[in-house]
């Protein structure tokens, strides 16, 4: 409970106040695979758990819907359980409370969680493309008097503090010579803010698909800017440290299946759209709009370059007074040899 409160304090405090090949083995014993590390030593990729608790966000999750993990892990006697969270910060709270083992979030939630004392590790990142950022926007109702992004100064801006939107707004404001103190932040989860925005009750909203596409269909959104070009490292899969250290073989499977799923999705975009319609109850035209902005570029391993990018984000939050202390991303990593053992070489760039 203490860790959860600390996380909530970091994620919701006033910004002004912060100046802040399949694994082998019997199903009745620990499965493991010994592989050679980059130093020539042998690393044992064990699996101790019989239940993998995966966290996903309310916007939907292709990994869950395709059930590729279930098919891969059933022969090993491992059950997969899925837990839904409103957004990334809530997923990080669930991980801190030991209710979820692995989950996907944007670049910002693990930084806030690390500040709050959560013992987490980065597992794998995502590749970026030229379309990255087109599905995340800062928007106003169509009738709003705000005509350009610069008009945001002094306005109430609604988004979930500690989410990827937090980095988005910080960098977007920087790009026009403003700071986070030049707006009035109102913290609200995207799914909760959606209806109020469509009714014209929210002046400025930061949102993403599918909520963005739904509002577009209703003719109730005008975009001031998207997040293209704001140099986010992208999303990550995060795990609790104890779970990760006890189950590196399972992390290897997760990364392999994620990377394979991205390749399948990129080659079968119409099938992805159909699955989205069925699982998220979306209209076909809304799903088509989402897919026009959706990329499946594959995974990105925890290379020195990616680690440096994430450290830059954390340093910016500290410099701007958003988080109360400087953190070191290396404190939330596994050993380099472990990453080399669990990550396909093709994505370790």
Range 99-124 average pLDDT: 97
pTM listed for this prediction: 0.88
Considering only CA atoms, which of 126, 77, 158, 165 is closest in space to residue 310?
126
Q: CA 305: distance to chain centroid?
A: 18
Do the Cβ atoms of 169 and 138 come closer than 8 Å? Answer: yes
Which one has a higher pLDDT value, 301 or 23? 301
Place of tokens 């990018």: 309
Range 202-213 average pLDDT: 96
239-254, pLDDT tens digit by residue? 999 999 999 999 999 9
Model confidence at 60, in pLDDT bands (50, 70, 90)?
Answer: low
Q: What percent of the chain has pLDDT over 90?
A: 81
Q: What pLDDT is recorded for position 51?
A: 98
Q: CA 201: distance to chain centroid?
A: 28
User: For the purposes of burial, counting CB atoms within 10 Å of the CB of 324, is it exposed (0-12), middle (13-18) or buried (19 or more)?
Assistant: middle
Tokens standing for 203? 């002046």
Tokens standing for 84? 């839904």
pLDDT at residue 257 is higher than 70:
yes
pLDDT at residue 327 is higher than 90:
yes
Question: Cα(176)–Cα(224) distance, rounded to whole angstroms?
Answer: 13
* Alpha carbon separation from 192 to 48, 207, 219, 319 (Å, rounded): 38, 11, 19, 30
Q: What percent of the chain has pLDDT over 70?
A: 86
Q: What pLDDT is recorded for position 349?
A: 78
Question: Cα(28)–Cα(26) distance, rounded to whole angstroms?
Answer: 5
Place of tokens 């608790």: 53
Q: What pLDDT is recorded for position 131?
A: 66
Label the pairing between strands 204-208 and 156-159.
Answer: parallel
pLDDT at residue 96 is higher than 50:
yes
pLDDT at residue 201 is higher than 80:
yes
């Amino acid at each position: 409970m203490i860790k959860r409160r600390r996380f909530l304090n970091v994620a919701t405090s006033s910004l002004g106040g912060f100046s802040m090949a399949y694994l082998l083995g019997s199903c009745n014993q620990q499965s493991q695979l010994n592989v050679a590390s980059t130093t020539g030593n042998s690393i044992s990729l064990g699996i101790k758990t019989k239940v993998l608790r995966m966290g996903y966000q309310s916007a939907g999750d292709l990994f869950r819907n395709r059930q590729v993990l279930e098919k891969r892990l059933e022969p090993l006697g491992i059950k997969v359980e899925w837990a839904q969270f409103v957004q990334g910060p809530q997923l990080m709270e669930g991980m801190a409370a030991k209710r979820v083992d692995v989950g996907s979030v944007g670049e910002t939630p693990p930084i806030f969680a690390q500040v709050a004392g959560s013992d987490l590790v980065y597992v794998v990142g995502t590749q970026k493309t030229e379309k990255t950022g087109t599905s995340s926007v800062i928007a106003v109702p169509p009738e709003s008097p705000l005509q350009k992004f610069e008009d945001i100064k002094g306005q109430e801006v609604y988004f979930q503090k500690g989410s990827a939107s937090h980095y988005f707004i910080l960098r977007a404001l920087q790009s026009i010579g403003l700071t986070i103190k030049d707006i009035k932040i109102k913290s609200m989860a995207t799914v909760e803010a959606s209806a109020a925005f469509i009714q014209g009750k929210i002046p400025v909203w930061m949102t993403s698909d599918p909520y963005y596409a739904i509002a577009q269909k209703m003719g109730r959104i005008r975009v001031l800017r998207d997040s293209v070009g704001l140099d986010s490292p992208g999303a990550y899969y995060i795990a609790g440290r104890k779970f990760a250290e006890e189950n590196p073989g399972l992390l290897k499977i997760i990364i392999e299946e994620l990377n394979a799923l991205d390749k399948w999705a990129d080659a079968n975009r119409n099938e992805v759209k159909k699955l989205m319609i069925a699982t998220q109850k979306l209209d076909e035209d809304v799903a088509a709009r989402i897919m026009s902005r959706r990329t499946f570029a594959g995974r990105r391993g925890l290379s020195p370059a990616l680690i440096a990018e994430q450290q830059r984000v954390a340093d910016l939050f500290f410099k701007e007074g958003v988080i109360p202390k400087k953190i070191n991303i290396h404190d939330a990593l596994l050993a380099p040899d472990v990453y080399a053992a669990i990550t396909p070489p093709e994505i370790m760039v």
